[in-house]
Structure 1
Amino acid sequence: MTTIPGPSPAAPRVLGDPAERARTVACRTAAALCVRGLAPGRPLAHATTAAGQVLVLVPAGGEVDEALAQEDDRSAVLMVSDRSPVPLRDSLRAQLWLSGWLTPVRAADQRAAALAFAEVRPAGELLGVGSEATLLRLDLAEVVLREGTRCAEVAPPAFAAARPDPLADVEAGMLHHLDRDHPEVLALLRSRIPAGDLGPRDVVRPLGIDRYGYRLRIERPTGSRDLRIPFPQPLTCPGQLPAATRRLLCAARAGLTRRD
């Protein structure tokens, strides 16, 4: 991903470490569960708790539940997909493979595990644990993050210790708002792209927002290119986003004035 210099003379850090990015992808809801000996399927829900434990909800009496009733644990892979909240020609931004051993949560631990699950993802299916749903834990052996053509391995302890990007919960709403209601903001962000990098048929779309800046995608007749418009400094909470955006837009307007 290309980075367009921001308004600060100091070069900011523009990308979280792989463990942080992996924890951010783990927050997404779209997932597939592949259990040894069974056909791939989709869980009812999944979550990575604040402590870094991966929990999975499956239907009670389903084939995963039945398989684990016969065998205490099975090797499994939970694949989580991160897609852009706004329509793009290729919406897939990243995929995360969480590999390890799947085990039912003991009855004595179910309440605490369900509360930890609900703290990060209040899924309605949690109300059915013990009757309509079975709560499982995935003890990690391997974590692999793929972003575009790049893959990174993350040590399970580093994954557990990391925290998701602080804008992860508000990103979708902010991107929809930007795409639907503020074309002038997108135009100003686009103005930060060097003119020589844009062709006459290229379309610039919002791709993402994280604590390091805005991510844009240039969709071309053949292929695409991703780039970042960085904030002067990484953000620490969603409340800092409006001020950081204003600084970016002021810099963009000043750049347009200089061009004129």
Structure 2
Amino acid sequence: MTTCPGSPALSVAGTAERARTTATRLPAALCLPGRQPARPLAHATTATGSVLVLVPSDGEVAAALAGQADVSALLVVSDRAPVPLRDPVRATLWLSGWLTPVAPADRTAAALDFAEVRPEGALLDVGGAAALLRLDLAEVVLREGGACTEVSPAGFAAARPDPLAAVEERVLRHLERDHPDVLAALRGRVAVGPGETVRPLGVDRFGYRFRIERPGGHRDVRVRFPRPLTCPGQLHAATSRLLCALRAAGDEAEEAIRTC
């Protein structure tokens, strides 16, 4: 594993897990040599770690593959915070390798694997208006907070995304819209200086993350759960226990707060 210059990655999860979590996000661009970046119809990393991409059958990507066994390609996926922030991009994932059309005999199985992690209406058009492609990975690079870290393709395939990734956006938007008191209690233990504001940044199996924005920059902090979660169904109870601890024990609650 190599790391390029920049700030250390701000998370407690392993890099491969964070890469797989970023891969679940929607914003993506597909880049081929000599062509303008294209936005795919959809993309998915299956449960077994295969990267699949849906593109229009009459688009430039499909045209580039006409008569070719494969072409080199780069899929760029952006992880944006679920709520408005001055700097909303939390991570960027670069998946590079060789793009290959899924063989007709394998389309049904591949489409089912795709739908298992990301149901998309365009999957119904595979073989017609949509082409299903596989990206065989050669390199995986994750950028967070100015730091770039390489993940082996095998490590990326073996990892699993954070179990709260699918519900994170809904949870944070719900809290901000309907339960500002809960967010206020959670961020009440975050030390804030003059001119700084605290915004929700994310929630994962380890706890809530907050972005402290200040003129000319920002910093991120985490309010930890007592123990990591294993499924979204544990989130409500874990949040309730965390709030009780924060409200009941001022000094002891400080132990729950860690810089990401």
TM value normalised by structure 1 = 0.90
Match of 1:135 in 2: 132
Deviation at 1:100, TM superposition (A): 0.2
Q: Deviations over 1:222-242 (max 9, x none)?
A: 211111111111100111111
Letter in 2 for 1:28: R
Whole-angstrom CA distance in 1 between matches of 2:230 and 2:252 = 32
Question: 1:237-248 to 2 correspondence within 5 Å?
Answer: 237-248=231-242
Whole-angstrom CA distance in 2 between matches of 1:135 and 1:257 = 55
Whole-angstrom CA distance in 2 between matches of 1:100 and 1:224 = 34
Match of 1:207 in 2: 201
Whole-angstrom CA distance in 1 between matches of 2:113 and 2:251 = 51
> Aligned to 2:119, what secondary structure does the other structure show?
coil
Match of 1:109 in 2: 106
Cα distance change, pair 223–202 in 1 and its aligned pair in 2 (3 A) = same
Question: 1:72-91 to 2 correspondence within 5 Å?
Answer: 72-91=69-88
Whole-angstrom CA distance in 2 between matches of 1:118 and 1:239 = 22
Match of 1:96 in 2: 93
8 Å CA contact retained: 1:54, 1:139: yes
Please say which of residues 210-219 and 246-255 is displaced more in the overlay.
Answer: 246-255
> Aligned to 1:42, what secondary structure does the other structure show?
coil
Deviation at 1:221, TM superposition (A): 2.3
Letter in 2 for 1:174: V
> Aligned to 2:66, what secondary structure does the other structure show?
helix
Q: Does residue 1:253 correspond to 2:250, yes or no? A: no
Cα distance change, pair 116–33 in 1 and its aligned pair in 2 (3 A) = same
Question: 1:47-58 to 2 correspondence within 5 Å?
Answer: 47-58=44-55
Match of 2:220 in 1: 226
Whole-angstrom CA distance in 2 between matches of 1:253 and 1:166 = 27
Whole-angstrom CA distance in 2 between matches of 1:45 and 1:238 = 24
Which residue, 40, 43, 50 being the options, matches 1:43?
40
Letter in 2 for 1:135: L
Q: Does residue 1:25 correspond to 2:25, yes or no? A: no
> Aligned to 2:230, what secondary structure does the other structure show?
coil
Deviation at 1:118, TM superposition (A): 0.5
Unpaired runs of 5+ in structure 2?
1-6, 254-260
Deviation at 1:256, TM superposition (A): 4.6
Match of 1:122 in 2: 119
Please say which of residues 177-186 and 204-213 is displaced more in the overlay.
Answer: 177-186
Please say which of residues 248-257 and 45-54 is displaced more in the overlay.
Answer: 248-257
CA RMSD of aligned residues (A): 1.8
Q: Deviations over 1:192-247 (max 9, x none)?
A: 223xxx12321111000000110000111221111111111110011111111112
Match of 2:258 in 1: none
Deviation at 1:255, TM superposition (A): 3.7
Whole-angstrom CA distance in 2 between matches of 1:258 and 1:160 = 39
8 Å CA contact retained: 1:82, 1:92: yes
Match of 2:150 in 1: 153
Whole-angstrom CA distance in 2 between matches of 1:54 and 1:109 = 14
Could you tell me the percent identity over the aligned residues?
Answer: 67
8 Å CA contact retained: 1:60, 1:134: yes
Deviation at 1:72, TM superposition (A): 1.5
